[in-house]
Chains A and B, each alone.
Chain A
């Protein structure tokens, strides 16, 4: 049943006008804030002060706080900027369409949502401690009957926000709010000549940030690579269906500068990419791989060899010039969407045999290759296969149970996280090994030509890549204890302690049949000592598709997101007991791990800038108790992917009230960028990290 509109659009615009908005100010409408989960967030009127909301303390009993941790009440941006909330093209009203009944959206006179608050489908921790985030699938609330056919005109460019966290949360809208790429519609890769029924002109959905990947640049800006151009494509020649919505990957790349809160364009890639993965190389250049140019109909008449698979070309962004270079034929590789990539300590890039796999026709006819882990060598611009993921541990002396578990969970895995466990130096201070934790998601099952099972798995494994004395790589896998429940699309966060928390997700694939997954609110923690998972606190909100979680500088975790596809690719409706699919969830909550409730070490002082090979001093009164010094790279996460995610344990020696710390010699261990420096000491509730201090590692080059 359709809810009555809280504030009709016309009234919203009038109200905004009455507040005396100038053209250079945001026309901000205040709507009643209610029931964002906490029963009454603080609300502010539009004024010079940014909109803000209170952040409540963790909601947990003392015994639970120190065992399981606790979540703050959800808090949400209190206002909606009505700019751009033009009435959509209006198909007949669907009486079964559920629209959010609270303050999440503005509505027109017919009760249609015309603009909603953005959810944190993608997040990045800025170097000044604020949080950049942007929406996913902006406008799905406007779909009346089927997103499959209406996405091309119902969906809009995603809004971005900057969130400041303190006792209160406050919001700022960057300029331009949608990132500003492709405002007039790039030349799309349509199958028809321009001008024949395309809907490119004048549409505010040609440059969506949705499905871009994020990377911190070496100088602390945020690079958003790719994105989405939505349109309906009335194909003509068979076998192209008519009128089906298309999501085309953008060639654009954009930079967000925290100093100015502005988005600007940088160089365009050679290939449009939707769901690419990007990561920093040791010199500060950024590698991008995979993505698809056309999601729904990946047919390219001018380059048929590319049809039916993802973009195989890799490209490298130059930190100094902003230009992209195609890395050549041998740098090509068929990869899943959002391939799980990591930079190894030797400067090579690991593909960890996981990703997203659902674009029609382009699950990839060559998707069997996705089962193989592989490494890319940036200087040599070549790939080398490494192993069938998850299988190499099998040997005659392998425990049969583990062997069976490994075999079951081996190969390509979809919608899982891939966490690089802390890089740890050997006795000589060299970093010669990297380990990766993969848990949950869906198993490949590519045998049936399907991208994967619909049902989530609980299987968990660690893959180890070791750098051999001769420079070669060795690969092995071991099974860990399983998740306590099968989990699709859980977002993992590596804590400074080396433990891994997983948040959100559902019990089955919410892309294959949206709205039919049961949300998982119970979080879990991976103990690296026992290699088992244990249940932890229950988060406040169910968050299934496009959820996010991110380590904050104080060691807590920001949890947000949830922007589902319309139920069964039809309209917005919540099936009882299943994922909340009546719209997106713009709220956040903050998870405080058990260590947040006990004593923690403190950093009195530390350098603000470090380079590979440096030796430096950290002043701390708890020097005698410190068990690890950890550099954690600031997160930038979308769709479970943060290819730059890393935590590096540093060699150190204790001094009176100080630590003498050695940076890694290898730039590939600490690629340039922005980091958080933590100290970790034993505590009454497990290992306890300090709050961090910011550290910059500049690129070893001058632009």
Chain B
């Protein structure tokens, strides 16, 4: 989710690139390998909305040094934790996505190292400038196929051994758009109405002014909610209910097995609103077509009295913009 603070940070981080009319939104920073590989040394790249971040954990028993662009160590990781060279410009440049202001003493040329412990565990993450997406060549204007733009390397020293973290910048256009859910019908039966509140995931509000209780069934067909004139109950043993995690301290009693039902009054009203992921976007394993609208039907099984029915609706994928023309 791109949020205002992050958006602002992103805007700042991307400002130089955007000033040249280039968007790197579809450029990913990927890790390939540590060469040569070393047992006990774990590396990952976390590419958030702000900037890609290298994260390293050193359980090798030897001291790992991270070298800057000029070969000067600015981080040391060993079993005791992490030390930073507070006299190294790279320490300040990599501390945050936009870098951190350097105190005057650290700006003196040929300042000798000033190692300080900054963490008591042997892992650290930093915004290495060599992973800056702006270093990659511009992506194709309307490319639709993935393409490696450039490879990057970060030198390390483990004891006396030289190592490298290697990776690449990958151009990978992603579909942009939104999932919009809507109900097929608002009235399930006389006095039984459903309203959908948009969101990711959306929420449903069911009001039961009818004579018979309404059961909403969970994802496994289990009783999930019971909404009746005297109030609304939730089945604490329902996996669907538990996945919502709505109330802290209202967990099912220990030993409740599969198929059990433990009703708990959660509202004195004959209506209840809940998050309903089943009405939201489809599973990530089925990404939407970036170019075309698509609609996927869904239904939430409901029992009104002795009658089985369902809350039915459609979730529509709406691409954000017309598809780019292929350049390949």
The chain A residues found within 8 Å of chain B, CB to CB, are 89, 91-92, 144-146, 148-150, 192-193, 195-197, 234-239, 241-244, 295-296, 303, 305-306, 312-313, 328-330, 332, 334, 358-361, 363, 365-369, 371-372, 374, 377, 380, 382-388, 391, 411, 444, 446-451, 511-513, 568-570
Contacts and interface: CB of A to CB of B under 8 A. Distances in A.
B266 interface: yes
Interface in B41-60: 44, 46, 48, 50-51, 53, 55
Interface string B58-81: 000000000000000000000000
22 contacts: A144-B101, A148-B5, A149-B100, A196-B117, A196-B120, A234-B118, A241-B53, A242-B53, A330-B266, A334-B246, A361-B3, A363-B3, A367-B199, A368-B197, A368-B198, A368-B200, A368-B275, A372-B273, A385-B272, A391-B195, A512-B7, A513-B4
A369 B203 contact: yes
Interface in B227-286: 245-250, 265-269, 271-275
B197 A371 contact: yes
Interface in B91-137: 94-98, 100-103, 117-121, 123-127
Nearest to B181: A447
Contacts of A149: 96, 98, 100
Given A92-B101, A197-B118, A369-B203, A328 B5 contact: no
B125 A243 contact: no
Contact of B100 (A196, A243, A411): A243
A242 B127 contact: yes
Interface stretch (B8-16, B149-157, B298-306): B8-16
Contacts of A328: 249
Contacts of A92: 101-102
Given A150-B101, A569-B9, 16 more contacts: A148-B98, A196-B120, A242-B97, A305-B245, A312-B246, A329-B250, A330-B250, A332-B248, A365-B201, A369-B199, A369-B274, A371-B199, A371-B203, A387-B205, A447-B180, A568-B11
Contacts of A569: 5, 8-9, 11-12
Contacts of B25: none
A449 B7 contact: no
B5 A360 contact: yes
B81 to A, nearest CB: 8
B46 A368 contact: no
B76 to A, nearest CB: 15
Closest 6 CB pairs of A and B: A368-B199, A91-B101, A243-B96, A569-B8, A238-B46, A384-B269
B223 interface: no
B6 interface: yes
Residue among A150, A411, A446, A449 with most chain B CB within 10 A: A449
A148 B9 contact: yes
Given A236-B125, A372-B273, A385-B267, A447 B198 contact: yes
Nearest to B119: A196
Given A329-B248, A369-B197, A236 B123 contact: yes
B1 interface: yes
Contacts of B101: 91-92, 144-145, 150
A369 to B, nearest CB: 5
B99 to A, nearest CB: 8
Given A369-B273, A372-B273, A148 B247 contact: no
B119 to A, nearest CB: 5
B123 to A, nearest CB: 6
A371 B3 CA distance: 19
B98 A449 contact: no
Contact of B125 (A197, A237, A372, A383): A237
Contacts of A236: 55, 119, 121, 123-125
B35 interface: no
B96 A242 contact: yes
Interface string B201-212: 111010000000
Contacts of B178: 447-449
Contacts of B119: 192, 196-197, 236
A385 B268 contact: no
Contacts, number: 194
A149 B46 CA distance: 19
Nearest to A514: B8
Main secondary structure on A side of the interface with B: loop
A548 B199 CA distance: 31
B161 to A, nearest CB: 25
Residue among B4, B7, B120 with most chain A CB within 10 A: B4
A450 B1 CA distance: 8
B176 to A, nearest CB: 11
B125 A238 contact: yes
Nearest to B179: A447
A210 B121 CA distance: 34
A244 B9 contact: yes
Residue among A306, A377, A448, A450 with most chain B CB within 10 A: A448
A369 B245 contact: no
A80 to B, nearest CB: 26
A149 B118 CA distance: 18
A380 B9 CA distance: 44
A48 to B, nearest CB: 43
Contacts of A197: 118-119
Contacts of B95: 234, 242-243
Contacts of A303: 248
A244 B272 CA distance: 39
Nearest to A234: B95
Contact of A372 (B12, B197, B245): B197
A242 B269 contact: no
Contacts of A89: 103
Contacts of A296: 5
Contacts of A242: 53, 94-97, 125-127
B53 A238 contact: yes
B8 A148 contact: yes
B205 A372 contact: yes
A527 B190 CA distance: 39
B250 A146 contact: no
Contact of B120 (A148, A193, A330, A367): A193
A239 B199 contact: no
A325 to B, nearest CB: 14
A447 to B, nearest CB: 4
Given A244-B96, A368-B203, A384-B267, A237 B123 contact: yes
A579 to B, nearest CB: 15
Contacts of A244: 9, 50, 96-97
A363 B266 contact: no
Contacts of B53: 238, 241-242
A371 B245 CA distance: 19
A113 to B, nearest CB: 17
A382 B126 contact: no
A146 B15 CA distance: 13
Contacts of A385: 205, 267, 269, 271-273
Given A197-B118, A306-B248, A363 B123 contact: no
A336 B244 CA distance: 18
A329 B249 contact: yes
A146 B98 contact: yes
B178 to A, nearest CB: 5
Nearest to A369: B203
B210 to A, nearest CB: 16
A379 to B, nearest CB: 11
A678 B284 CA distance: 61
Contacts of B121: 236
A360 B11 contact: no
Nearest to B121: A236
B100 A241 contact: no
Contact of A360 (B3, B103, B124): B3
B90 to A, nearest CB: 13
A78 B195 CA distance: 56
Residue among A149, A334, A358, A570 with most chain B CB within 10 A: A149
Nearest to A331: B247
A343 B190 CA distance: 33
